[in-house]
């Protein structure tokens, strides 16, 4: 299994990748490729990210078992499940109705109780449940939406790919200290564009 070759500094991240059945989150026609370290289409112009990127973004969040996480872009629900293995509760937002319905079915079937899903415009976050200890954006935006910055707790971490669709994108981690955000560049990536309702 290619997952066994993936290396992360946090052993809990790799454990989560091994525990969550990725084949349950991909269309039937791609299930034979589910455990390859590649992105796969999930319909509606969206993809399930390659396991390494899922693991990397999760590791950059430095999650604790008591953390409350906001995910922007539920997609297939795979990243959501990985986060739920490591955090107390995951709040996830998706704009595409068929995707969130499918993710809800799979996550329920797998027995996750610490996930809340919402179909909405992720730009505005989930204000009534804020502040969040960590926020992850799973699509490329030009910049981090200001509502998400305000919903991040002091000391919280936000991980997002930023850049132009189809152009250069960089995976950034932001750490919030009062009103200041410390940025850390984690290399080039390629994500589908951040979509609005």
Q: Which residues are catalytic?
A: 49
14: its two tokens: 């790799």
Burial (CB count within 10 angstroms: exposed 0-12, middle 13-18, buried 19+), residue 181: middle
DSSP for residue 34: T
Measured CA angle at 67 (ends 53, 113), to 5 deg: 85
Which of these, 144, 169, 50, 176, lies nearest to 186 by C-alpha position? 169
């Amino acid at each position: 299994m290619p997952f066994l070759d993936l290396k992360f500094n946090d052993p809990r991240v790799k454990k989560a990748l091994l525990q969550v059945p990725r084949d349950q989150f991909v269309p039937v026609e791609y299930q034979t490729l589910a455990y390859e370290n590649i992105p796969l289409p999930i319909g509606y112009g969206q993809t399930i990210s390659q396991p390494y990127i899922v693991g990397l973004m999760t590791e950059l969040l430095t999650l604790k078992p008591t953390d409350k996480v906001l995910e922007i872009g539920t997609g297939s629900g795979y990243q959501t499940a990985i986060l739920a293995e490591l955090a107390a509760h995951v709040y996830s937002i998706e704009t595409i109705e068929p995707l969130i319905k499918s993710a809800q079915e799979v996550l329920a079937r797998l027995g996750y109780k610490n996930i809340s899903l919402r179909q909405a415009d992720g730009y505005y976050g989930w204000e009534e449940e804020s502040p969040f200890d960590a926020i992850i954006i799973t699509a490329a935006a030009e910049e981090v939406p200001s509502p998400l910055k305000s919903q991040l707790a002091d000391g919280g971490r936000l991980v997002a790919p930023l850049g132009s669709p189809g152009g250069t994108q960089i995976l950034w981690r932001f750490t919030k200290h009062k009103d200041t955000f410390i940025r850390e560049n984690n290399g080039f990536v390629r994500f589908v564009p951040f979509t609005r309702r």
